[in-house]
C-alpha cells in the first residue's frame, strides 16, 4: 500500500488506499477489512447512475465537485467540526453496471469511520 495520498486514476483504476485508516475503496482487496467497501450496482444507463450520484452529492452539505469526466467524478467534502477535507471519487463501469468509489481523508491517521459512514449514506440514498 502507498505511503502517500493520491487522487485520480492510474491505468483506469483508483490509486490504492493509503496505509492509515483514513480511506475506503471498492477496489481494495475484499479481504482488507480496513479499506474494502462494496460497490453500488445499477440497472439503468450509466448516464442515469451518474446523474443520480451527482444529485445525491449536491444535496449533501459541504460538498464541492472538483472534476467531472465521462465516467469519473471527484468531489471534496469538508467535515463540519474541524473542517477536514476528504476526497471522494466515483468511477462508473457500464460493462459491469457498477459504481466504484473511493473516499479518503487528506490529513490524519484515523477518521473514526467518517469515510465509510459517508459512503454507506450515499449507498442508502442511491438505493431509495
**What is the residue-wise DSSP string for 19-64?**
SSBSEEETTS-TT-TTTB-PPEE-SS-HHHHHHHHHHHHHHSTTEE
Per-residue CA distances from 106 to 17, 76, 77, 109, 110 (Å): 12, 10, 10, 10, 11
Provide the pairing of β-strand 9-10 with 72-78. unpaired
- Work out the average pLDDT over 105-113: 86
Per-residue CA distances from 72 to 1, 37, 84 (Å): 23, 18, 23
Thinking of the domain 9-127, which architecture would CATH place it in?
2-Layer Sandwich (3.30)
Please tell me the pTM assigned to this model.
Answer: 0.93
pLDDT band at 112 (very low <50, low <70, confident <90, very high): confident
- Work out the average pLDDT over 9-13: 96
pLDDT tens-digit map of 36-83: 999 999 999 999 999 999 999 999 999 999 999 999 999 999 988 888
d(CA 73, CA 90): 5
Amino acid at each position: 500500500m502507498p505511503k502517500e495520498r493520491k487522487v485520480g486514476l492510474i491505468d483506469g483504476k483508483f490509486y490504492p488506499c493509503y496505509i492509515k485508516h483514513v480511506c475506503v475503496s471498492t477496489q481494495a482487496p475484499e479481504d482488507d477489512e480496513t479499506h474494502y467497501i462494496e460497490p453500488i450496482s445499477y440497472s439503468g444507463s450509466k448516464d442515469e447512475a451518474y446523474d443520480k450520484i451527482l444529485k445525491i452529492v449536491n444535496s449533501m452539505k459541504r460538498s464541492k465537485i472538483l472534476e467531472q469526466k465521462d465516467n469519473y467524478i471527484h468531489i471534496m467534502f469538508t467535515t463540519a467540526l474541524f473542517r477536514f477535507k476528504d476526497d471522494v471519487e466515483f468511477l462508473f463501469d457500464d460493462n459491469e453496471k457498477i459504481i466504484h468509489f473511493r473516499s479518503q481523508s487528506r490529513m490524519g491517521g484515523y477518521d473514526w469511520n467518517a469515510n465509510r459512514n459517508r459512503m454507506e449514506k450515499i449507498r442508502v440514498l442511491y438505493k431509495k
